[in-house]
Structures are given as structure tokens and as C-alpha cells.
Chains A and B, each alone.
Chain A
């Protein structure tokens, strides 16, 4: 099946017809509500909060936010942003409780610093990996979005973004942009390796230390395994340092010079080999 992200920009793809289909399909609604509940679990809000819904669409996840019972810390008040007018139109018809904005998240988040207790985004931020005009780039849009989001969350706030990356490159681009903006970031994957696999980017603001990031968030959830890529990356970094004068070092230098367009002797079996003692 083709990805909607590859077909058209989001404001054109979700036209009246597509928005209606999206909102009335019971399959999509079930998936959405499962993901929203999972995200809420990760946000761990204990009192009625102000929540930003990024890519709120027709308010499917917002409804769940408004309906959190008081014994679970709800109901939350939410503000939704979406780029598709048709989706917002359906949200109006459905009479959702949150405030709605027609806005492009790639242009930033137009709120005062420290506004929100939390942010939630269901199946939206992968759209940022597409640039629709030549004067914007995916990297620039991701940067504007994450910087704006970081500023608009209060210290100690969290954001959970469920997204569908097209490949590992997109996944790394998105999480890399979040880390660059200052977030403590981690990815939670539900049902890995299956068709139903779901990725949640869990972002924390100003937590500091290990407990502030995702390992602190999922601490105590019993169905979660932690794979810490950071330690592996650190060991990996230490291992690979060719000493000056090594064969590997010489080969690397020759490649570098070749790339610069310099004339470099062809490699042979004598390249980088030690001379025998002269006497």
C-alpha cells in the first residue's frame, strides 16, 4: 500500500472526502484511540493539564483527552493544530471541546514559552520529512518544529509523538532533530518486527540525568525492554581510532586525497606494508 506522505502534501491529501473516510472508519478510530491511550500512559499526567495536540485532525485523540476521568487525573484541556482545513471542519461538526488552529507545524509553534504541561501527536510528524516547495527543507522544518515545541513546553513537561517513519533514515532524522533542539529523547517501539509495529518518540524537557529521559519514563512498565544504544555507541567510538602510520590510516588518507582530486598512487600489495629491516 502506498504511503499518503508520498502522494500529496497533507493539506491537499486530507480533502473533504479523505477526512470523512479517516474519521468514520472504525478501524482507524480503534488504532488511533489505542495509540492515544498508550501516549497518555507515557505522559503520566496526574492532574488536569493543558495539552497541545500536534496534527489533531478531526479531534479523535482530543476527545480521549477530554474524556479522561477525574480519578486518572483528567479531564485535560487541549489545543489542537492541524494543516488540513477539511479535517478541522469535521472537528467543528463533531463539536470537540478543544481549541483548534489551522497551522503548519513546520513553521513553528506560536505559543509563549512554558505554556503546555504536555504535548501529544498521533501519526503526524512524519509529514515534516517532506518538503513541498523548493524554499524549505525537511531539516529546517523539523528544526523549527522541535525548537518551537521545546520552548512552549514547561520545564519537566513531556511530549509523546507517535509517528510512521518511511525508513531508518527518517527515523534518525526526526529523533536527531529532537535531540538537537534540547529534548531528552528516546523511542519506544510497540510490537517490533510486526506489521502493527508502532513507534513513539518520547521527549522530555529539562529532566536532566538518566531518570529524566525515556528510561525514567518507562521505568516500572513491565512489558518494556530497554535497549540502550548510547553505551554501545560509546564503546564503538573508542574502538575505531587507527593509529597514525597504520595501514588503515594510510588507506584513509589516500582515499581522502583521491576525493579531493589529487593524484594518488594506485593501491598495491606493498601499500602500507612495513619495510624489512635493511640489515
Chain B
């Protein structure tokens, strides 16, 4: 699972929809992998405004990355190839291969195996 996907995921349990603690999900025992991907500046420019920067900082911290930018890059910063390349590496090339995602509200654990997260809920939680 790419880090960018994790930035959009919320808990699937119905009761957690209204709670702010259900986003972002928290990583546990994560195993990372770097997978090379073609650099697409247009896509990054399209997606960056939708990224929750605060959540990204929390996740990067949990995964043990060196500090990322304090503020979301905006305007002219999005024309800087260096910044875009860093974002590309962080958001699209960093994969979470194994581990768990936990909800901060209900504590439900979503297992990640071979990069595929299991979001099937048992019927009592639906």
C-alpha cells in the first residue's frame, strides 16, 4: 500500500464516521519497501491540495522517517522539481508491505499482508 493511500483511509466502522479520532489510522509494526515508479509531476500537483498534511506528518513520524516539510507546499513551491521529486518518493514510491493499521477511536485493527489491507468487517461492526 502506498503512503498516499493511507493518507485517505478512514476507519470503516459506521460508528467511527463522526469521530475525528478515526483519522488518520495509525501504523503498527509496519514493514516498508521502496518500489520505483515513473515520476509524474502533473499527478502530484493534482493530488497535493487534497492531502491532509497534518496526518502525513503523523504517519511519517510513526514510520520513522526524517522530518518532512512543516507546511504543505503551495503555489510556486509546486513548480520546484526537487520538492515534487521528494513528494513522489514519499507518497508514491514508499510502500507499506506488512503491518497493521489501527483506528484511534474504536481500536479496530486492519491487517496489511503483501501490501493488501483487509478492510472486511465482521457483521456486528457493520
Residue positions of A touching B, CB distance < 8 A: 47-50, 75, 77, 79, 81, 83, 88, 92, 97, 99-104, 107-108, 110-112, 114-115, 117, 133, 135-136, 144, 154
Contacts and interface: CB of A to CB of B under 8 A. Distances in A.
Contacts of B11: 110
Contact of A48 (B46, B50, B118): B46
Contact of A92 (B5, B114, B121): B114
Nearest to B2: A99
Contacts of A108: 12, 14
Given A48-B40, A48-B46, A112-B52, A102 B116 contact: yes
Interface string B1-30: 110110011111010000000010000000
Contacts of B9: 110-112
A216 to B, nearest CB: 22
A169 to B, nearest CB: 25
Contacts of B23: 112
A92 B116 CA distance: 9
Given A107-B12, A108-B12, A77 B43 contact: yes
Contacts of A104: 119-121
Given A103-B120, A104-B120, A114 B10 contact: no
Interface string B79-107: 00000000000001000000000000000
Interface in B43-99: 43, 46-47, 50, 52, 92
A135 B118 contact: no
Interface residues of B, number: 31
B5 A110 contact: no
Contacts of B50: 50, 114-115, 154
Nearest to B47: A50
Given A48-B42, A114-B50, A103 B119 contact: yes
Given A77-B43, A103-B12, A154-B50, A110 B119 contact: yes
Contacts of B47: 50, 77
Given A79-B5, A112-B52, A102 B118 contact: yes
Contact of A49 (B46, B52, B119, B126): B46
Nearest to B55: A112
B46 A115 contact: no
B46 A47 contact: yes
Contacts of A77: 4, 40, 43, 47, 92
Contacts of A99: 1-2, 5, 115
Contacts of B12: 103, 107-108, 110
A110 B126 CA distance: 12
Best-buried of B52, B114, B116, B120 by chain A (most CB within 10 Å): B116
